[in-house]
Structure 1
Amino acid sequence: MTVTPEGTASAGATASGGVRPDQRHGGAASPSAGVSPGGRGPEGGGRGTASGRAEGAAQRVTELIESLPPGSRLGTKEEMRTLCGVSVGTFNEALRLLQSRGLVTVKPGPGGGLFSAEQSPMVRLGNSVLALDTQQNDVADAVRIRDALDPLLIEDALWHASPADIASLRDHITAMERAVDDTDPVAFVHANWRLHAAIAAISPNSLLSSLYTSLLDLIEGHTLSVLPSGEQPLTEYIAQRHELHRALVDALDRRDRDEALRLIHEHNTSPAAPY
């Protein structure tokens, strides 16, 4: 999970959020700041492909962002490119990655440059919170509509799921279990969404299935991270959600309509809803 904590500037930044002059032209940076002990930045750090170098530069900037309060000035684009030790084209790609992840904003004009993104909007989901890049209201509405469609898709799955469909659903349950074992809530949520998409794909109603998967895509596309709500440990929460989804797939396999509908109701109305 990427959570931007309150903190002080790292070794590569001034108190005002800019880059120190001694690091603007290849000066030594702290190894913890993402530069190899040999002094090479991402361009020469063994990442041979262009995409690998861009990802390395993006990671270098991410590490700096994590040491600063939201909204901090990181420096000019050229200062950050020099700090990362990459070409203009590579840094432009890294900047695109950072912007797509909602981590960096670019402000033009005097005093402008690259800034760490302001605090992400949040949508509460039971005993956890999704940190979003934008569109808080849209995501909250999509979750409500998705929940309303779940019983329809469960009814279709009870009638139309083949043995191969059930086997596919169990593969997604296994992926969720691995995320629980790895204590990786982000991987768990993505595996969970893939399970729900697979249930939707069973429906012969193409309009219903398409609408549902579009809602999932909207939710997933704006989610940056999964955070604890403070009421229950996140690892305990996702373990409970895994068990609920495993029981739901078991009920679909048995064609147990009452149990499947009871579980999807619990899924969407319990304090641990909705994923």
Structure 2
Amino acid sequence: MTTPRPRSRPAASAADYVADDLQSRISEQGWAPGHRIGTKVELCAEYQVAPATLGEALRVLRARDAVEVRPGPGGGIFVAAQSPLIRLAYEVLDLRQAGTAVNDVVEVLDALDDAVLHDAARHRTAADLADLDALLAELETTWAHPSDGLHPNWRLHRRIAEISPNVVLRTFYRNLVDYITAESQTDVTLGVIGLEPTSDERLQVHRDLVAAIRSQDPDELATVLRAHRTAATR
């Protein structure tokens, strides 16, 4: 059995800590399905927890489809054959723990904007447009204030993504936006390129985004997408 690297235990329950730590080890070590992690006795000794605590951690991991418990001689705790979608979900959750740079997340969002905006234009309803108008009005009111203007910006992008009927696209996009928003709770600037809150040009780009979704004009969409990418690289 591989000994885990030393970790400082966070202010969470012991069972949560063990579950999260084992989940991270599986991902970081690249253990394949069927890899033997160890026995219950060995894991209790490693983490210095009671069998009941380990049992609760294993229940959590089994619910995540991360491990399987095999009884009998040669049994123990093994890496489960996790489905690709479940694995993707937990890898996204690991982004924050790994300290992923916000600029990396913004680059991925920029790459997804084409599909998100075209979906929004094709499928928007009157209720969607009313929501976008309200969010845009909030953005215009707060734009000149760095501590206030960043979050309406991301709420607008999140709401645009919610229009898409593509569940994978909208779910992935929304979670990345939520990651950025969570990281900006303590630092509203984050050093994110292109998010200068006092830029009138960038504010106009957001007005044009909503206008293009309303018009459903493909040329207008192409123009505003180019402008949005250009503004994000300055």
> Could you state the TM-score of these two structures normalised by the residue count of structure 1?
0.45
CA gap 1:240/1:135 in 2 versus in 1, 3 angstroms: farther
* Larger displacement relative to structure 2 (141-150 or 219-228): 219-228
Give the secondary structure class of the aligned counterpart of 1:236.
coil
The gaps in structure 1 that reach 5 residues or longer are 1-132
1:161 corresponding residue in structure 2: 124
1:202 and 2:166 aligned: no
Aligned-residue offset at 1:188 = 1.2
Contact in 2 for aligned 1:142/1:219 (Cα 8 Å): yes
1:184 equivalent to 2:145? Answer: yes
Q: TM-score, normalised by structure 2?
A: 0.52
Counterpart secondary structure, 2:187 = strand
Q: CA deviation at 1:240?
A: 2.3
Q: Give how far 1:137 is off.
A: 3.8
**1:241, 1:186 → 2: CA distance?**
17
Confirm or deny: 8 A CA contact 2:116 2:160 kept in the other structure.
Answer: yes
Contact 1:134 1:222 in 2 (8 A): no
Name the amino acid aligned to 1:151: D
Q: How many residues are paired up?
A: 137
Conserved? CA contact 2:140–2:203, under 8 Å: yes
| Maintained 8 Å contact 1:154/1:261 | no
Deviates more, 1:216-225 or 1:160-169: 216-225
How do residues 218-237 of structure 1 correspond to structure 2 at under 5 angstroms? 218-223=179-184, 224-227=186-189, 234=196, 236-237=198-199
* Structure 2 residue 103 is matched with structure 1 residue 140: yes
Are the structure 2 counterparts of residues 210 and 143 from structure 1 closer, same or farther at C-alpha, using a change threshold of 3 Å? same
Looking at structure 2, the residues matched to 198 and 151 of structure 1 have their Cα atoms a distance apart, in angstroms, of 15
Q: CA RMSD in A?
A: 2.9
Find the aligned partners of 1:148 and 1:141 in 2 and give their Cα distance: 11
Going from structure 1 to structure 2, the CA distance change for 1:142 and 1:227 (only over 3 Å counts) comes to: closer
The structure that is strand-richer by fraction is: 1
The 3 A distance-change label for structure 1 pair 186 and 260 is farther
The DSSP-based 3-state class of the residue aligned with 1:169 is: helix
What residue number does 1:193 align with? Answer: 154
What is the Cα deviation at residue 254 of structure 1? 1.1
Distance in 1 (alpha carbons) for counterparts of 2:133 and 2:140? 10
Q: Which position in structure 2 is the counterpart of 1:172? A: 135
Equivalent residues of 2:128, 2:163 under 8 A apart? yes
